[in-house]
Amino acid sequence: MTTTTSQFGIKEALAQLGVKDINEGTSTGLHHFANGEILESFSPVDGKLIGSVKMSTSQDYEKAILSATAAFKTFRLMPAPQRGEIVRQFGEKLRQNKEALGKLVSYEMGKSLQEGYGEVQEMIDICDFAVGLSRQLHGLTMHSERPGHRMYEQYHPMGVVGIISAFNFPVAVWAWNTALAWICGDVCIWKPSEKTPLCGIACQNIIAEVIKENNLPEGISCLINGDYKLGELMTSDTRIPLISATGSTRMGKIVAQAVAARLGKSLLELGGNNAIIVTPDADIKMTVIGAVFGAVGTAGQRCTSTRRLIIHESVFEKVKDAIVSAYKQLKIGNPLDENNHVGPLIDTDAVKMYSAALDKVVEEGGTILVEGGVLTGEGYESGCYVKPAIALAQNSFEIVQHETFAPVLYLIKYSGDVDNALEYQNGVGQGLSSAIMTNNLREAERFLSVVGSDCGIANVNIGTSGAEIGGAFGGEKDTGGGRESGSDAWKIYMRRQTNTINYTTSLPLAQGIKFDLQ
Ligand code: NAD
């Protein structure tokens, strides 16, 4: 490695994961196609260069797609439970590499070490889920209206799944997609975020071992590293029937149009603008923990981060004081040091967006309740550490309507009943995660009812941030409408076929239509 740090065992983690700098030769993983320009990965933790890797060219992309397409021809023939066994082995390798991969996630992306480990745990969990699912890719059987006919539906794999992922979950989102796609019989091409290319290589190295040990075609898992231009190659390519894209709403709108123009399928997981409603019946202690973790965890860089607290006027002062006082206890610093609560933003561009949001909320008439600011000096050399801030705001402010990917929390006051809070809650473009803090059954059920939250995720007495893999994950409106992970999310990775079999000697037509030939 040209420049790196040995702190917290990062050097050892990279060695264990087989992630090499270009000056040390190529990384061990199979099917990492990269012969282009150099991409440097700097850590937001200390600003140091972790390593330089090569980006993939359009020729590399072509090799990847050919390899994936060829691999699909054999992989689709493997029985689903046997594909589940491959995913089981992958989960085992992730367990063995949890510490190393978790550290790399933390160092390259900047989230806390606990969250880095948690992200790898999420990969392990989805593998376990997918293994069981590999024996449950059920279709329905129906009663035919025609005598002597049998009708059922079955699911076949789609082919090549293109995965485009965001920086903030540099490994888990790939696993959510691949674990399901693989048991469904699909093969995958992954373009990780250009901000976290080393996490991509590490993951590819882990699955490459499993593929090699099982003598399977390498193209089952392909990695290409690079920026949006590679993503554009994928979205316009008719050889990729399904594009799963995670990132900003801006990106999702471009991807959706490109994929739809060729009548492909897309699975979109885009931005959120998540709120917690705090009613007069809320447990204030639970509210404070949920809100603070939701707003400052991962330095506000989760798609499910809490951005808005919609508080009833009768408890507003109490909740505000409790949260402002909790913010005083926050320790900001190196996320690999478990004493710290808040790590850095991903880069200095993100810092600029954070600062601009704070200026804008004041410009629009908001009041700063907890001052923000960029931290400098020892431990903050990367220039990416900011103070979590709180502002009193109106839901209608332009900046409040916008997802700022940073620890900025807006407090919004409501009066009257929970419907007024719901109007604010739903009154934004995005529809990912939502929560209500209340001990009042009527309010909770109203929040969950058809006139309640319009989000893909609606929680009672839990914050907005984070989710378990067992449920389908995703959101509505500007969040893109996609569902990943648990429940029946696997269906998007397969094509459905309805089969009708006639076991008689006559050919009756549906709807009683008569068509007789002499
Ligand atoms: P981003 O949109 O900048 O980039 C995401 C990915 O899209 C990257 O790999 C990028 O190279 C690629 N990309 C960008 N433009 C493209 C184009 N025109 N065609 C094809 N690919 C393109 O997002 P980011 O800054 O990496 O991540 C933060 C965003 O992701 C936030 O908005 C967050 O809410 C969202 N996110 C959503 C979820 C979810 O499940 N809903 C999960 C994680 C992150």
| pLDDT tens digits along 238-279 | 999 999 999 999 999 999 999 999 999 999 999 999 999 999
CA 454 to CA 475: how far, in whole Å?
Answer: 9
Do 354 and 309 meet the contact criterion of CB atoms below 8 Å apart?
no
- Give the per-residue pLDDT at 518: 75
pLDDT at 26 over 70: no
CA 440 to CA 282: how far, in whole Å?
Answer: 8
364 is catalytic: no
Q: 120 phi and psi, to 5 degrees?
A: -70, -35
How far are the Cα atoms of 12, 72, 91, 233 from residue 220, in angstroms, in the given order? 28, 7, 16, 19
CA 473 to CA 183: how far, in whole Å?
Answer: 19
What is Dmax (Cα atoms) for the chain?
93
DSSP string for 198-250: HHHHHHHHHHHHHHHHTT--GGGEEEE---HHHHHHHHT-TT-SEEEEES-HH
pLDDT at 47 over 70: yes
pLDDT band at 335 (very low <50, low <70, confident <90, very high): very high
pLDDT tens track for 284-323: 999 999 999 999 999 999 999 999 999 999 999 999 999 9
pLDDT band at 71 (very low <50, low <70, confident <90, very high): very high
CA 168 to CA 171: how far, in whole Å?
Answer: 9
Mutational pocket test of ligand 1: of 174, 303, 403, the residue with most ligand atoms within 8 Å of the beta carbon:
303
Determine if ligand 1 sits within 6 Å of the CB of residue 335.
no
- Give the per-residue pLDDT at 24: 76
Determine if ligand 1 sits within 6 Å of the CB of residue 193.
yes
pLDDT band at 28 (very low <50, low <70, confident <90, very high): low
CA 340 to CA 351: how far, in whole Å?
Answer: 19
The 10 Å Cβ neighbour count of residue 150 is: 14
Which of 269, 403, 443, 484 is the catalytic position? 269
Determine if ligand 1 sits within 6 Å of the CB of residue 169.
yes
pLDDT at 1 over 50: no
Q: Closest Cα to residue 307, out of 389, 418, 421?
A: 389
Using a pLDDT cut of 90, give the percent of the chain over it: 93
pLDDT tens track for 165-214: 999 999 999 999 999 999 999 999 999 999 999 999 999 999 999 999 99
Rounded to 5 degrees, what angle do the CA atoms 189, 191, 192 make? Answer: 130
Nearest CA to ligand 1 atom 9: 193
DSSP E strands: which ranges in 216-347? Answer: 221-224, 242-246, 265-269, 274-278, 306-312
Q: What is the DSSP letter of 419?
A: H
- Give the per-residue pLDDT at 4: 41
Average pLDDT of the chain is 95
Q: What is the DSSP letter of 300?
A: G
CA 518 to CA 505: how far, in whole Å?
Answer: 16
pLDDT tens track for 106-162: 999 999 999 999 999 999 999 999 999 999 999 999 999 999 999 999 999 999 999
Question: For residue 167, how far is its CA from the centre of ligand 1 (angstroms)?
Answer: 7
Do 165 and 190 meet the contact criterion of CB atoms below 8 Å apart?
yes
- Give the per-residue pLDDT at 5: 44
Question: For residue 16, how far is its CA from the centre of ligand 1 (angstroms)?
Answer: 28
pLDDT tens track for 368-382: 999 999 999 999 999
Nearest CA to ligand 1 atom 20: 231
Question: For residue 381, how far is its CA from the centre of ligand 1 (angstroms)?
Answer: 26
CA 103 to CA 9: how far, in whole Å?
Answer: 8
Find the mean pLDDT for residues 323-333.
98
Determine if ligand 1 sits within 6 Å of the CB of residue 200.
no
- Give the per-residue pLDDT at 455: 98
- Give the per-residue pLDDT at 30: 60
Do 394 and 411 meet the contact criterion of CB atoms below 8 Å apart?
no
Determine if ligand 1 sits within 6 Å of the CB of residue 304.
no
- Give the per-residue pLDDT at 3: 37
CA 27 to CA 15: how far, in whole Å?
Answer: 10
Q: Which position has the token pair 């510490």?
A: 99
pLDDT at 215 over 60: yes
Using a pLDDT cut of 70, give the percent of the chain over it: 97
Determine if ligand 1 sits within 6 Å of the CB of residue 382.
no
Determine if ligand 1 sits within 6 Å of the CB of residue 403.
yes
Instruction: Write down all domains in the chain, each with its CATH number in brackets.
Output: 10-270+483-496 (3.40.605.10), 274-473 (3.40.309.10)
Residue/partner pairs of 391-394 with CB below 8 Å, 24 or more apart: 391/358, 391/361, 391/362, 391/366, 391/367, 392/366, 392/367, 392/368, 393/361, 393/364, 393/366, 394/364, 394/365, 394/366
Nearby residues of 135 by Cβ (< 8 Å), 6 or more positions away: 80, 81, 84
